[in-house]
Structure 1
Amino acid sequence: MIEGTTETQVLTEVEDAETRLSEAAQSDLLRHAPVGLMTIDMQGTVVAHNLMLALWRGHPAADASGALIGENALDWLSADSLARCVALLSAEEPVEQQFREIVIEGRAMNGEFSPIILNADLVFDANGQMRLHVALIDATERGRFERELIEARHSADRANDQLHDLQEQLRHQALHDPLTGLANQSLLEEQLGRILLAATRAEKPCAVLYLDLDGFRALNQECGHAVGDELLRVIADRLRSISPEGGVVSRLGGDEFVLAGGPTDEASLALLAERVLEQVRLPLPELIGDRPLSASIGTVLWSPRPGEGAPFARDFIASADQAMYRAKLAGKNTVARCLWSDIVS
């Protein structure tokens, strides 16, 4: 602390310095604002203004500082606009209510009139004199800004739509088999969980059918991977066509497929399994000539019992997978059936 000064004096000087800095910053901000700003007395004489207003009046930037001080802003108005402003100033309502977003015609230095949006606030200076703080916005520029804003909003909407579409595409890719478009294991377990919950509430059975194509590996090697891929797509389409309403068809990789859904019963499940065998056996001469194709199928049926919770989707699928392997061991081209109650008992 400087000798002879008190702490109060230092604090006062700091506050004064902060005030001066704040006022300087505000003054600089107003000076370079992108709209025309000025302070006028009640006769219309310009007391202060910013750079944008001087540029609008035609003064070059180098000579713009203070160039309009002393001019009468009323001289810049068309006759109609002048009469309108005088009438508003003489009205009994406060200036703040009168001078809000009114459109007038203002004349630039070149003598041309253009529409201007005017806003004004009534203030008092340090000497108690009434002043008007006025903002002038070129209406044509405002229209351009509004059009650009609308276009920016449209662009943002389009970007949001594209983002949403991309998110949907990514979600679809994450939950579907890229070769056949069928549900992958993640989506199968998710949807089967919902199916099991619905079956529990409805107290109706639910089933899973797990199939593996017999001899597919040999066909794939003999005919080529392109033929093998097309064969898998054909089988996927056939399974879609016979899937029970409300069910889900999935490819778990390789030549393994799952049909899951319900409600159903033992008879309808057996019928569905036979239909799957028939669809797989249908000839494909354009792909594999007269080579036969068949499937081994395992099915599991769950019937809700009072007080019993639904099986977990993953366990339900795994039990059908085990049944399918029993069909393989039984000679292939057949169906191995089991009940969930037998598995858990």
Structure 2
Amino acid sequence: MSGDTIETQISAGARSAQDRTSEAAQAELLRRAPVGLMTIDLQGKVIAHNDMLALWRGWAPDEAPGALIGENALGWLSAESRERCVALLSTPALSEQQFREIVIDGKTMSGDLAPIILNADLVADESGQMLVHVALIDATERGRFERELIEARRSADRANDQLHDLQERLRHQALHDPLTGLANQALLEEQLGRMLLAATRSEKPCAVIYLDLDGFRSINQECGHAVGDELLRIFGRRIQSVCPDGGIVSRLGGDEFGLALGPTDDSELRALTERILEQARLPLRELIGDRPLSASIGAVLWAPRPGEGAPLARDFIAAADQAMYAAKRSGKNRATQCMWSDIVGKW
């Protein structure tokens, strides 16, 4: 050590202090562990133990440290469990051995028997003497912990389910019209985009329809907003009743509605717009009396061609909107239908 530099001596001293601090921290951690821990010899004599074990044996907290040293831990067991542990300890320990999750019966301070879970490690100390490090867990307490753990997991599952439901509700609210429950424009564009992409692969046409109700503004003013809202809900249901499977109906705002349709053709699209016009003309005397109601419709069909990219969903909807205004300019209560290829770049 005399040949060491001052720096080396200081470094060695610092390491020694750190080691002592670490050992003290570990000892304190074991002393305060929430399960009973002890070290015994092969005859069962207690050499060291933590506070929890002493508390389990009935000692007061201020008396717990060292209270059990020298006792024979085998005396805390039922006769059958004591014989079982003696047999384990008498097994030739030529190398390290472990015993895990062994259920034994221990005597409480009142003399009653209670199940205990034993975990033990047989190790040799520096002199070669075999010692046993033991952890004793009150099985009734463990059962309570396990039940609490199960309940905590169930609570977490319920919380996850509630979070999933909330996320679904928020998504639904974000993508649906609150008045009619129909899809909104964001969802229409999302679904139409998928239909357009599918059409490029299948090379089958798809279509979009844009419509509004003729005369709705005057009805809303004369009959009140409550009547106008109910009219929109009824008309939304009517459109849904004639929409083909796989299509999506949306309310775009005010009295404007949109439909996106998967594989279809010119004649099917024309027939659908006629059915929508018929639905709009159906009387609602109990709601608006004899006031007339009709619809103006714009419908655009896109027939994919090899090598041609699909239009953007918002552009496709905008084209149908322009076709709807063409129907209005032509006198309302009618549908204007065209091909995407005939109008692209013209509006």
User: TM-score, length-normalised on structure 1?
Assistant: 0.95
Query: 1:256-335 residue pairs with structure 2 within 5 A?
Result: 256-335=256-335
Match of 2:194? 194
- SS of 1:101's partner is strand
What stretches of structure 1 of length at least 5 have no aligned partner?
A: none
Say if 2:176 is the partner of 1:176. yes
Match of 1:19? 19
Match of 2:135? 135
Aligned residues: 342
String of CA shifts for 1:219-272, please: whole Å, max 9, x gaps: 111111111111111011011111122111111100000112132222221111
CA distance in 2, matches of 1:107, 1:18: 42
CA distance in 1, matches of 2:94, 2:286: 89
Match of 1:59? 59
Contact 1:32 1:51 in 2 (8 A): yes
Match of 1:208? 208
Identity of aligned residues (%): 74
Query: 1:87-102 residue pairs with structure 2 within 5 A?
Result: 87-92=87-92, 97=97, 99-102=99-102
Match of 1:103? 103
Do the aligned partners of residues 93 and 291 (structure 1) sit closer, same or farther apart at CA in structure 2, a change above 3 Å counting?
Answer: farther
Match of 1:78? 78
Contact 2:35 2:53 in 1 (8 A): yes
Aligned residue identity for 1:312: L
CA root-mean-square deviation: 1.7
Match of 2:238? 238
1:107 CA displacement: 1.4
- SS of 1:299's partner is strand
- SS of 1:246's partner is coil
CA distance in 1, matches of 2:127, 2:160: 55
Aligned residue identity for 2:170: L
- SS of 1:99's partner is strand
String of CA shifts for 1:168-193, please: whole Å, max 9, x gaps: 11111111111111111111111111
Say if 2:10 is the partner of 1:10. yes
1:344 CA displacement: 2.5
1:92 CA displacement: 4.3
1:96 CA displacement: 6.0
Instruction: After superposing the two structures, state which structure 1 stretch, 211-220 or 198-207, moved more.
Output: 198-207
Match of 1:43? 43
User: TM-score, length-normalised on structure 2?
Assistant: 0.94
1:6 CA displacement: 2.4
Aligned residue identity for 1:157: D
What stretches of structure 2 of length at least 5 have no aligned partner?
A: none
Do the aligned partners of residues 8 and 306 (structure 1) sit closer, same or farther apart at CA in structure 2, a change above 3 Å counting?
Answer: closer
Contact 2:40 2:131 in 1 (8 A): yes
1:93 CA displacement: 6.7
Contact 2:97 2:123 in 1 (8 A): no
1:52 CA displacement: 0.5
1:108 CA displacement: 2.5
Contact 1:120 1:134 in 2 (8 A): yes
